[in-house]
Amino acid sequence: MARHAIGVDFGGTKVLAAVVNVENGKVVGTGKKRTSAGDGPDNLMKRIYATCDAALNDAGLSIEDVEGIGVGIAGQVDAERGLLIGTANLSRSVVDLPMAERITERYGVPAQIRNDVQIAAVGELSFGAGKGIDDFVCIFVGTGIGGAIIQHGALVKGYTGNAGELGHTTVDIEGRICGCGGRGHLESYASRTAITAALLGELRRGHKSILSELLPDVDPAAPGGTAIRSGILSKAVKSKDDVAVQIVTSAATYLGYGLASIINFQNPQRIILGGGVIEAVDLLFETADRVARREAFPYAGERVEIVRAALGDNSGVVGAAVIAAAT
């Protein structure tokens, strides 16, 4: 009989849950909901429960059919205690929330909590672009920028369990304030959030862009703006819109410099890039690849393989399910 577990990927804009066959990595049921950066503890847990219930219903299974539940969440995680200890893109009110304990109380199965990109790396290692690769780094671009390191076929956790946070490396010591409170961090320049902020800024300043047509209901001057979907951004870039091309190229250049630092410091065999904007916008991926190879040490930059994630949106849920079933 097939073995199943539930994987949950909780990000800055959505939460996705999936029932996964952990023997082959196949997703057999899903549930998805939008999230809000302002969600407090109760709403956050309600969204997790709702998506888990929906995934089980979609799979035609009950909780008795799964071995455990794994959750990947954007931020720094204390895996032993099963809680989030720091976050740049979610409400500070969810810090120290005993997520694993609450999930186990509700469902009666073991629960594991990990950083979202760490679980994505495990998913890619098990069934995706990292399968058969002993040394690679995963970088996912979304609301923020997260990273994870696989070395000798295993996840590198670091002393406090939070190794791989490329998005919070400094690229400008006098630069923008990051969501975490630090200054000049990479995700302040190359995340989808940063790209959105730059695009809306250009629209506010009156620059002509096809984005005004693609986003007719968006007021660029509204507080908080909006999250420009990856598909919309892709359309703008493919139409050779000057504003979109310029801003995406700038973000990709910053990302490429970050990747070059990884190549020089970690010397991985492969770098796996993921996230909806990486999947949808070729200019972002290709420019980051080119800049990384140009700026890295020559031999390492020539030899490294830079590829897109193979599992797409499912990297995180598959990895979370694998971790849940293994513990």
Note the pLDDT tens digit of each residue in 169-226.
999 999 999 988 999 999 999 999 999 999 999 999 999 999 999 988 777 766 665 6
Residues 47 and 77 grouped into a single domain: yes
> What pLDDT shows up at residue 91?
81
Residues 13 and 108 grouped into a single domain: yes
Note the pLDDT tens digit of each residue in 12-41.
788 999 999 999 999 999 999 988 777 888
Residues 166 and 91 grouped into a single domain: no
> What's the token pair of residue 312?
């797409």
Residues 109 and 210 grouped into a single domain: no
Residues 219 and 80 grouped into a single domain: no
- Residue partners of 42: CB distance under 8 A and separation at least 6: none
Residues 190 and 256 grouped into a single domain: yes
Q: Domain residues for 185? A: 132-309
Residues 10 and 110 grouped into a single domain: yes
Edge-first strand order for the sheet with 66-73 is 26-34, 14-21, 4-10, 66-73, 111-115
Buried/exposed code over 294-310 (b: 16+ C-beta within 10 A; e: otherwise): ebbeeebbeebebbebb
Output the tens digit of pLDDT for each of the chain's 327 residues.
679 999 999 987 889 999 999 999 999 999 999 887 778 889 999 999 999 999 999 999 999 999 999 999 988 898 888 888 888 778 888 888 899 999 999 999 999 999 999 999 999 999 999 999 999 999 999 989 999 999 999 999 999 888 999 999 999 999 999 988 999 999 999 999 999 999 999 999 999 999 999 988 777 766 665 678 899 999 999 999 999 999 999 999 999 999 999 999 999 999 999 999 999 999 999 999 999 999 999 999 999 999 999 999 999 999 999 999 997
- Length of the chain counted residue by residue: 327
Number of domains within the chain? 2
Residues 195 and 212 grouped into a single domain: yes
Secondary element (H or E) of residue 2 = none
Residues 171 and 39 grouped into a single domain: no
**CATH number of the domain that 299 lies in?**
3.30.420.40
Residues 155 and 269 grouped into a single domain: yes
> What pLDDT shows up at residue 23?
96
> What pLDDT shows up at residue 53?
98
Identity of the amino acid at 65: D
Residues 320 and 302 grouped into a single domain: no
State pTM to two decimals. 0.93
Q: What is the largest CA-CA distance in the chain?
A: 61
